[in-house]
Amino acid sequence: MLPELKSSHRRRILQRGALAALVLGMNPKWLRAQPAVTLRVGYQKSASLFVLQKAQGTLEKRLAALGAGVQWVEFPAGPQLLEGLNVGSVDVGYVGEAPPIFAQAAGANFIYIGNDPASPTAEALVVPKDSPIKSVAELRGRRVALNKGSNVHYLLVKVLEKHGLKYSDIQPVFLAPADARAAFERGAVDAWVIWDPFLAAAEKQIGARSLADGRGVVDNFNFYLAERKFVEHNPKVIQALFEDLVERGQWLKSHVDEAATLIAPLQGLDREVVKTSIQRYEFKVAPLTPDVVARQQRIADTFHALRLIPKPIRIADAVAARGAL
């Protein structure tokens, strides 16, 4: 019979055995190499290519080749997404024209990495179907719901201006889309300025009537933004993201029905609502041109003149160098 083991030696053997059993029993997925970097994508339930990427899993496949992963983080609207980008919750995001202007004025450290073309019909100023209001000029003194700092903030300013009103002539009621829809339905506001797919849903589901959309008034560009340091440290990841966005845009425009079927469950909307929405947007991602930068600068200057932002800003200071993507 072997001599009795010392208690300390016996404990070491038992500990090693327990460790071996733990490792052997582990899920093999846990033992795989973890991504060297994870791209955290801030997205909204709007008609963006991010939603399509999420539905099809194409970005995950492309980044896997670089040893990178993807994490999707949902936001209700652009201003909240920009706040997430500013505090480090996400690395990239997709928003309308106004949110990055407010964010840049607040000192957020991001850069524009691309944009979709103008989509002026994808946002509008609407009233309830039975409203006595027939024109924008009749909104003087009325309560208008909008998401503060979103793309429709600028639409409202310019539509009022076109019809002889000032921004100060109406009563803005700042509400996120879901809360604005509820207020609109119960008559707590007289009008609502909103973008797709919420616009298409309001038109088709409750008969919201458009007083004016962006045509002849605003461009309604949509922008892809990224945290500056993330771009500097992970240029291949950003390049892969950009390339996948270009491919998804090309696929979507030639597969509208299929795209609507894929996107509808993620947006929680009827397929026909989603189809109407995505038909109002253009999906041709490209780096910002000097003309797009100049148009975005005009919006920033307008917001500063209205004292909606506390200081003037220079859009070019937040634009990725051409050819960098």
Give the Cα separation of 212 and 136 in Å (integer).
8
Tens of pLDDT, residues 250-289: 999 999 999 999 999 988 899 999 999 999 998 999 999 9
The CATH code of domain 37-119+221-318 reads 3.40.190.10
Provide the whole-model pTM: 0.82
Tens of pLDDT, residues 107-131: 999 999 999 999 999 999 999 999 9
Give the Cα separation of 224 and 286 in Å (integer).
10
Domain boundaries of the chain, sorted by first residue: 37-119+221-318, 120-213
Domain 120-213, what fold?
Answer: D-Maltodextrin-Binding Protein; domain 2 (3.40.190)
High-pLDDT (> 90) share of the chain, %: 79
The amino acid present at 289, given as its one-letter code, is T
- Nearest-CA neighbor of 99 among 116, 119, 115, 77? 77
Q: At 22, is the pLDDT very low, low, confident or very high (cuts 50, 70, 90)?
A: very low
Say if residue 3's pLDDT is above 50.
no
User: Average model confidence (pLDDT) for the chain?
Assistant: 88
The amino acid present at 129, given as its one-letter code, is K
Q: At 25, is the pLDDT very low, low, confident or very high (cuts 50, 70, 90)?
A: very low
Please give the pLDDT value at position 90.
96
Which residues, in sequence order, are CB contacts of 50 under 8 Å at separation 6+?
41, 43, 72, 94
Average pLDDT, integer, range 308-321: 93
Please give the pLDDT value at position 34.
58
Please give the pLDDT value at position 28.
45
Which residues, in sequence order, are CB contacts of 137 under 8 Å at separation 6+?
163, 164, 165
| Equal fold, 37-119+221-318 vs 120-213 | yes
Give the three-state DSSP class for 191.
strand
Average pLDDT, integer, range 137-156: 94
Which letter, b or e, does each residue of 162-191 get, where b requires 16 or more Cβ atoms within 10 Å of its Cβ? Answer: ebebebeebebbebbbeebbebbeeeebbb
- Nearest-CA neighbor of 44 among 84, 101, 2, 102? 84
Please give the pLDDT value at position 76.
85
End-to-end CA distance of the chain: 73
